[in-house]
């Protein structure tokens, strides 16, 4: 998939655990883990907004587009 999720990178930069982010954003650990591993098929803008607010970052810090080579 050409969309890369860099949530783990931003969490490491902010020295925040998955548990802490889960509590602050209001998402279950399992849903946050699915997002973090890049297995999510979609993300709500409200969720992205909450994550960006807690991590003090921009959506582009979390989501990245990489063109696939055929």
Token pair for residue 4? 């890369």
Mean pLDDT calculated for residue range 14-26? 96
Distance CA 15, CA 13 (A): 6
3-65 topology per CATH: 434 Repressor (Amino-terminal Domain) (1.10.260)
pLDDT exceeds 80 at position 34: yes
DSSP-assigned letter for residue 7: H
What is the number of other CB atoms lying within 10 angstroms of the CB of residue 5?
19
pLDDT confidence of residue 68? 83
pLDDT confidence of residue 44? 95
pLDDT in tens, 45-67: 999 999 999 999 999 999 999 98
For the entire predicted model, the pTM comes to: 0.89
């Amino acid at each position: 998939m050409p969309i890369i999720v860099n949530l783990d990178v931003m969490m490491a930069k902010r020295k925040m655990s998955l548990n802490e982010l889960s509590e602050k954003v209001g998402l279950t650990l399992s849903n946050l883990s699915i997002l973090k591993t890049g297995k999510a098929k979609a993300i709500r803008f409200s969720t992205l907004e909450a994550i960006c607010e807690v991590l003090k970052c921009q959506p582009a810090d979390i989501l990245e587009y990489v063109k696939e080579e055929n």
